[in-house]
Structure 1
Amino acid sequence: MLFEVLRNPTYQRLFSAQIIALLGTGLLTVALGLLAFDAAGEEAGVVLGTVFFIKMVAYVGLSPLANAIVSRLPPRRVLVAMDLIRAAAALCLPFVDSVWQIYLLIFVLQGASATFTPTFQALIPEILPDERQYTRALSLSRLAYDLENLVSPVLAGLALLFVSYHWLFGGTVFGFLLSALLVVSAALPRRERAQQAQPFLDRLSRGMRIYLATPRLRGLLSLNLAAAAIGAMVIVNTVVIVRAGFGLGEPQVAMALGAFGAGSMTAALLLPRLLDRLDDRTVMLAGAAVVSTLFLGLSLGLGSFTRPGWPGFLALWLVVGFCYAVVLTPSGRLLRRSAQREDLSPVFAAHFALSHACWLVTYPLAGWLGARLGMAETALVLGLLAVTGVLTALLLWPVRGDKFVLEHEHTDLDPADPHIADAVRTPHGWRHAHVFNIDDRHRRWPS
């Protein structure tokens, strides 16, 4: 069962902290829109666009740097400190009186999130070493994100019937504080001392070096580009398609986004059993190929999102949401398999930064193309970008090179090194086979 993983008390508390923090973030999103209108009037859209740009810049630029800075600290202290920083930033937002103050506080808040999230994600595979349980935890996490998109606006709407939007920031503060309390109460694993002894520059670059030297992770990055291209089209342009294309109202916009979320949640529920039978590469590439082909077919064959009719469009968005989750949900499994325990945190931070760099490209591309070319043409361009991501993943992540146990040769280790105690002597060094990850002894992937 999907929910059997919640029997683990440590994971149960961390998952509860994640849900509560997500709900608080959802309330923040609604409140920010209303605050932006108060601060900038008709320029509120510009303010919100800049806010989302700042969020992505913080994610991409600060995640590896922050991970290197805090890697000497126990994970509990890092998570609690970041929750408290986020709570303090949210507490200040209702009192701003100029736009630049919004930008500054959002940068602080999202910078803390760029530190919190990879640290949190890297802890879960240590708490749940069994792969079946970890897969179910990934599906629950996907489910939590999708439910937050549905529940937070409803909670915000109910609250606004009785209080002003400023009180929504109070809900955000409460969410982060409660998240910190749950983290404090959880029994978390200790950080390895070997990682703590590394020089700062090595800690700063370590995650990126491991990530970019591992074929399956280079393939994962390409698939993240494909998912970002499709996701940006949905998030940025659904409102335009529904309102301008179909001539429908705001409830139908919510319905379309709900169909996308329903598809994603369906995938989260089905993926654990699917991944018990099929390997990650097959499942993720199939999902990316299907959704890319759908976008290209729609653009080339129909020329308009309105051609399938409203029910057909909802069904399309349902399938797109399903495939989107199929591509993204197994990512944690690949990251866990591709790093030693002490390297999980920098590798998750590298993935966090690189995957959001894809969104930093596709978000403005979806908006700019949609405003100037039209929806079908935008879907064609983003669909081609997604296809490029799929083809690149096929090249960078070959099925023959994705074995976990790899035979390889060491030419630069001391003969007394215990790592090669079971190796066979060759004319050039020492040859053996084991589960292979990039680390200090293995700096290149075997050819």
Structure 2
Amino acid sequence: MPPTCWRPAVTLHRARPAREVPVDPGAGRGLQPVTAEGAAAGQRRRWAAFQRRVFATPQFFRLWSAQVVTSTGDWLGFLAIAVVAARLGAGTPEAAIGVVIAARLVPGVFFSQVAGLLADRFDRRRLMVTCDLARAGILLAVPLVNSVWQLVLVSLALEAFTLLWIPAKEASVPNLLPAKHLTAANSLSMFATYATFPIASLIFARVAGALESADREGWLGLLYPDKQGPIFYLDALTFVVSAALVFSLPLRHPRDAARAERPAVRWEGVFREYREGWRYVVVNPTVRSVNIGLATALIGGGMLIPLALVYAIEVLRVGEGGFADIVTGLSAGVGVGVVVLSLLQRRVHKHRVFARSLTGAGVCLLVASSLGSLPWVMLVAGAVGACAGGMYVLGFTLLHEHTADEVRGRVFAGLYSIVRLCVVVALVVGPLLAALFDRVSEVLFDRAIDIGIVVVELPGVRLTLWLAGLTVIVAGLLARRTQRAVAATGSNGPVGAPPGDESLED
């Protein structure tokens, strides 16, 4: 019989793997000294995270920084040149300032499209660097100017290179960050353009005040023969800094084989591309509606520039201080509109909100010009600014999204040409209409009408602002109609693209 199997008294069990005890990564940190390298690395990580969150890419941050610097330089130069023009104008400083400012505004009406053509034809990075260095060189020569006509030539040259820089910059933005960040990018660009004015004003005031008491004897007088000399040198330095920032950008001009084989300059090719740019503006429904909307709104809203002061004095009777309050409310509204739109950029339908912003700005302008109390006018002026800020940002975003890279420079140059033309028209036509309506109102209504127990004053400035508000409302309705037509047909892509290439749904 087989032997009985012996079993040990102790049962053996399979060994279980040891439980992993989670280790607190922060345990013991307080005992470890923080090195300078570790602190610096942490700061770099936090800064990189901030750049990604706000600017999307480091490349766009560098371009935005260049825009901040150049905008500050532009405002500095504008203020300093105005002071020099007043000094050189002798007995007619107002006329001298007007001529010099006209030299900065008028060329853009006629030559913006040529600048856009060059921005589409040549390497945009090199073009922007060349423009920055050229402007720096021109500003270094401004202290040697001793007549108004020389200052006009300087202003024309500065404006020519500015006209080249702007479309090259705008055409480069979509190549530096994802499309979903374009709304925030345009908000930041608007901030860089206009928020730098008070900074430049503060710099100008401090430097000019220091120069008043400076001793210019000896070698120091050779450095700035003109009292504003150091301001122009500082201004030139801003453009050198901008050139360095732009030079570091990874921008290359896209050239296909056919484009590369074509000679650099052929007049028939130049005229053909010129017509192609305007054809794109006219045929592409989104580009057309944005241009018409912004242009019409600027004709109406631009009348606020010469008429707001008259309205504050004649209608509200609050003087120049009240005018400053209205401008403050308007500016604050623009800032609020831009910030809110940036926060809600992924939740808004851009086409619809663009059209509604136009209509809202017109309605608010009508209401503001109908009120007689300064606090209420300030409040409604803030609403006008909020709608205007959203309209501006969304208009540029739609152009960035719905414009092919090959014609983007010409499209934005065309927009700037139309914008400047409309601003000039508004500045000239607004006061003329106010004077005309004032005479008509005096003849027909004795400048006031009775509605029950309420007396409504009808000065020419109020009637003109009403017309401006109606003009902006019509612009919004046209933009909305175009958006609905495009949504119905589905043709919203670039010229030559198949229908439905780009959807109106955001």
Normalised to the residue count of structure 1, the TM-score between the two structures is 0.82
- Aligned partner of 1:294 among 361, 364, 389: 364
| 1:258 counterpart residue number | 328
| 1:167 counterpart residue number | 230
**Amino acid of the structure 2 residue aligned with 1:376:** R
Determine if the alignment matches structure 1 residue 147 to structure 2 residue 217: no
- Aligned partner of 1:90 among 129, 139, 163: 139
Partner Cα separation in structure 2 for residue 187 and residue 284 of structure 1: 32
Determine if the alignment matches structure 1 residue 191 to structure 2 residue 254: yes
Partner Cα separation in structure 1 for residue 205 and residue 313 of structure 2: 21
- Aligned partner of 1:377 among 455, 463, 478: 463
Q: How does 1:277-356 map to 2 (within 5 A)?
A: 277-299=347-369, 301-302=370-371, 307-308=372-373, 310-356=374-420
| 2:42 counterpart residue number | none
| 1:410 counterpart residue number | none
**Amino acid of the structure 2 residue aligned with 1:342:** E
**Amino acid of the structure 2 residue aligned with 1:132:** K
Aligned-residue offset at 1:371: 6.0
Aligned-residue offset at 1:183: 0.7
Partner Cα separation in structure 1 for residue 430 and residue 140 of structure 2: 33
**Amino acid of the structure 2 residue aligned with 1:201:** F
Greater RCO (Cα-Cα under 8 Å, separation 6 or more) = 1
- Aligned partner of 2:65 among 16, 20, 27: 16
Aligned-residue offset at 1:2: 9.6
Aligned-residue offset at 1:247: 5.9
**Amino acid of the structure 1 residue aligned with 2:60:** Y
Aligned-residue offset at 1:195: 5.0
| 1:401 counterpart residue number | 486
Aligned-residue offset at 1:271: 0.8
Give the SS at the match of 1:192: coil
Aligned-residue offset at 1:404: 9.5
Give the SS at the match of 2:483: coil
| 2:105 counterpart residue number | 56
User: Unaligned 5+ residue runs, structure 1?
Assistant: 407-434
**Amino acid of the structure 2 residue aligned with 1:399:** R
Cα gap change, 1:63 to 1:241, in 2 (>3 Å) = same
Aligned-residue offset at 1:362: 1.4
**Amino acid of the structure 2 residue aligned with 1:268:** V
Partner Cα separation in structure 2 for residue 3 and residue 230 of structure 1: 38
Aligned-residue offset at 1:143: 1.7
- 1:228–1:362 CA contact under 8 A, matched in 2: yes
Question: Which shifted more, 78-87 or 187-196?
Answer: 187-196
Question: Which shifted more, 145-154 or 260-269?
Answer: 145-154
Runs of 4+ in 1 over 6 A off after TM superposition: none
- 2:301–2:472 CA contact under 8 A, matched in 1: no
Aligned-residue offset at 1:153: 1.6
- Aligned partner of 1:213 among 239, 264, 283: 283
Aligned-residue offset at 1:378: 2.6
RMSD between superposed Cα atoms in Å: 2.8
Cα gap change, 1:253 to 1:86, in 2 (>3 Å) = farther
**Amino acid of the structure 2 residue aligned with 1:393:** A
- Aligned partner of 2:148 among 93, 99, 106: 99
Aligned-residue offset at 1:70: 5.2
Give the SS at the match of 1:318: helix
- How many pairs are equivalent? 407
Partner Cα separation in structure 2 for residue 240 and residue 94 of structure 1: 36
| 1:438 counterpart residue number | 495
- Aligned partner of 1:156 among 204, 208, 214: 204
Partner Cα separation in structure 2 for residue 159 and residue 34 of structure 1: 13
Determine if the alignment matches structure 1 residue 200 to structure 2 residue 270: yes
| 1:109 counterpart residue number | 158
Aligned-residue offset at 1:243: 5.5
Give the SS at the match of 1:49: helix
Partner Cα separation in structure 1 for residue 377 and residue 498 of structure 2: 52
Partner Cα separation in structure 1 for residue 114 and residue 70 of structure 2: 23
| CA-to-aligned-CA distance 1:269-292 (integer Å, 9 cap, x gap) | 111343322212221111111221
Which structure would you say has the larger Rg? Answer: 2
| CA-to-aligned-CA distance 1:248-277 (integer Å, 9 cap, x gap) | 676665444333222111111111343322
- Aligned partner of 1:76 among 105, 115, 125: 125
- 1:295–1:383 CA contact under 8 A, matched in 2: yes
Aligned-residue offset at 1:59: 1.5
Give the SS at the match of 1:186: coil
- 2:360–2:473 CA contact under 8 A, matched in 1: no
Cα gap change, 1:278 to 1:71, in 2 (>3 Å) = closer
| 2:341 counterpart residue number | 271
**Amino acid of the structure 1 residue aligned with 2:231:** L
| 2:179 counterpart residue number | 131
| 1:360 counterpart residue number | 424
Partner Cα separation in structure 2 for residue 382 and residue 313 of structure 1: 16
User: Unaligned 5+ residue runs, structure 2?
Assistant: 1-49, 212-226, 264-268, 439-459
| CA-to-aligned-CA distance 1:420-444 (integer Å, 9 cap, x gap) | xxxxxxxxxxxxxxx73104899xx
Cα gap change, 1:326 to 1:230, in 2 (>3 Å) = farther
- 1:31–1:165 CA contact under 8 A, matched in 2: yes
Aligned-residue offset at 1:55: 2.5
- Aligned partner of 1:44 among 93, 98, 112: 93
- 2:184–2:345 CA contact under 8 A, matched in 1: no
Q: How does 1:385-424 map to 2 (within 5 A)?
A: 385-395=471-481, 397-402=482-487, 406=491
Partner Cα separation in structure 1 for residue 397 and residue 293 of structure 2: 14
**Amino acid of the structure 1 residue aligned with 2:167:** P
Q: Percent identity?
A: 23
Aligned-residue offset at 1:376: 1.2
**Amino acid of the structure 1 residue aligned with 2:69:** I
Cα gap change, 1:231 to 1:155, in 2 (>3 Å) = farther
| 2:41 counterpart residue number | none
Partner Cα separation in structure 1 for residue 121 and residue 291 of structure 2: 27
Partner Cα separation in structure 1 for residue 301 and residue 52 of structure 2: 27
| CA-to-aligned-CA distance 1:320-340 (integer Å, 9 cap, x gap) | 211111111112222123222
Give the SS at the match of 2:251: coil
Partner Cα separation in structure 2 for residue 378 and residue 48 of structure 1: 27
Cα gap change, 1:42 to 1:245, in 2 (>3 Å) = farther
Partner Cα separation in structure 2 for residue 298 and residue 339 of structure 1: 36
